[in-house]
Amino acid sequence: MPANDVVLEVNDLHTYFFNKRGVTKAVDGVSFSLRAGETLGIVGESGCGKTMTALSLLRLIPKPAARIVSGEIILDGEDLVPKSNKEMREVRGRKISMILQDPQTSLNPVFNIGDQLSEALGIHKPLSKAEKVVQAVASLRNVRVAAPERRLKDYPHQMSGGMKQRVIGAIAVASSPKVVIADEPTTALDVTIQLQYLRLLKDIQAETGLAIIFITHDFGIVARMCDRVAVMYAGRIVEEAGVRNLFNKPSHPYTQALMDSVPKMDRTDRLFAIDGQPPPLYALPEGCRFADRCSHVSDICRTEYPPVASVEEGHAAACWMLDPKWKK
């Protein structure tokens, strides 16, 4: 794709927590890019840095403990890292927004849906009250909410989980952002509603050219939704590839282990589990962070972090097995 199709570029992003334990490296050198109309999946175990990466992009990290130490977040040609809080309020919602995991805690229980949608719409555009209502109705209609005029008067407790998640989606795309981060948006939904919601996101993306970062644990959702996948482990991306390449040829031992952990209908033996636990982010090892859990570990894995090696065009992984040094 042409370079001007890139709407988001993250370069060597480091987000650290400073506390009594020392320095916790929640995001430790993450780099990726995202094009218009593309969906990038971010997968990995809990605590690997997925959500903290997303919050860093929005500059919503918990302060004063956390701060972005270095790196660039280039959104639509602008670096977000040096921007002030006031400047970021102009960016959030208008250029980048986020669909949070739990719709019940994302909506304010004391305001009706119309008030919450109108607030999101009025932040970036000087709209009259009547104009806000018209656009709020249109936003609900875009996410396939039935009888949107009546639903504006409803409170969150009067809606089902799937309907609340649609409202969250409506708020996220109300100001036509270029990038939406979906942080496990289907976790609280049952399987049939999940499918409807995923189809809805794809429809909105097809109509608007929206770029999506989809954070999930579910490889089934990755296969259905994503164009590319970044696999995170202990604060770093260890493998990145097109979704088809990742499923057909996983190259990092951690990715292979995640794939093996997925239940299969024709499997009759015991389910595979990855031994051990990820290293604590405040005491990371010098070498590969997956070394203690890897069945292919060698001496160099414990002393040096592996360089990122190209498997093929558009597919790269950080593993010594892909480097000539590993065989010596």
Residue 180: predicted pLDDT: 95
Cis peptide before 64 (omega within 30 of 0): yes
End-to-end CA distance of the chain: 39
Residue 2: predicted pLDDT: 42
d(CA 293, CA 286) in angstroms, rounded, equals 15
Contact assessment for residue 248 and residue 227, using Cβ atoms and an 8 Å cutoff: no
d(CA 7, CA 9) in angstroms, rounded, equals 7
Contact assessment for residue 232 and residue 51, using Cβ atoms and an 8 Å cutoff: no
Low-confidence ranges of the chain (pLDDT < 70): 1-4, 267-268, 325-328
E strand or H helix at 254? helix 253-260
Q: How, if at all, do strands 315-318 and 308-312 pair?
A: antiparallel
Residue 69: predicted pLDDT: 95
Contact assessment for residue 150 and residue 93, using Cβ atoms and an 8 Å cutoff: no
Its pTM stands at: 0.91
DSSP string, 208-247: H--EEEEE-S-HHHHHHH-SEEEEEETTEEEEEEEHHHHH
Residue 179: which residues within 8 A CB-CB, separation 6 or more? 7, 8, 34, 57, 75, 95, 96, 97, 210, 211, 212, 213
Both tokens of 197, joined, read 């919601």
Find tokens 């050219």 and name the residue: 209
How far does CA 160 lie from the centroid of its chain?
24
Count Cα atoms within 13 angstroms, Cβ side, for 175. Answer: 25
CATH topology of domain 3-95+177-327: Rossmann fold (3.40.50)
For the chain, what are the domain ranges?
3-95+177-327, 109-175
How far does CA 46 lie from the centroid of its chain?
13
